[in-house]
């Protein structure tokens, strides 16, 4: 089952210009990563992406960087969980994920 990623440049604002806990649509890009028992990497995030919404259909473990490698002992997400992660803009960042235990 895949791990779904939505890349955002900006946070959304309400009518009073207050930030809300959501990305401003349309998103910059979307990716899906198939979880396996081996670490898998996404494509490089869009140069404009400043944060990523990650949704795990299954338990997963994550790693971030320019050449990340995920392991089953770090940064675990539960099945059905959604999280937001900030990333450095224009730094050729990727996400690596592995099927969680």
Q: Could you read off the pLDDT of 19-54 as tens digits, one per residue? A: 998 999 999 999 999 999 999 999 999 999 999 999
69-83 pLDDT per residue, tens? 999 999 999 999 999
- DSSP lists the bridge partners of residue 19 as 13
pLDDT for 101 equals 80
> Is 2.60.20 the CATH number for 2-12+19-99?
yes
User: What pTM value is reported for the model?
Assistant: 0.92
The answer to whether the beta carbons of residues 98 and 38 sit under 8 Å apart is yes
Q: What is the DSSP string of 34-98?
A: E--SS-EE-PPPPTT--EEEEEESS-EEEEEESS----TTSSEE-TT-EEEEE--TTS--EEEEE
Q: 3-class SS at 18?
A: coil
- Token pair recorded at residue 33: 């990563």
Sequence spans of domains, the chain: 2-12+19-99
């Amino acid at each position: 089952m895949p791990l779904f990623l939505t890349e955002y440049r900006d946070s959304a604002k309400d009518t009073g210009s207050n930030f809300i806990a959501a990305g401003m649509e349309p998103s910059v890009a979307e990716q899906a990563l198939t979880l396996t028992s081996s670490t898998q990497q996404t494509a490089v995030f869009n140069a404009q992406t400043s944060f990523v919404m990650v949704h795990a259909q299954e338990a997963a473990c994550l790693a971030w960087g320019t050449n990340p490698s995920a392991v089953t002992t770090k940064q675990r997400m539960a099945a059905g969980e959604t999280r937001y992660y900030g990333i450095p803009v224009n730094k050729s960042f990727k996400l690596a994920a592995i099927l969680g235990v």
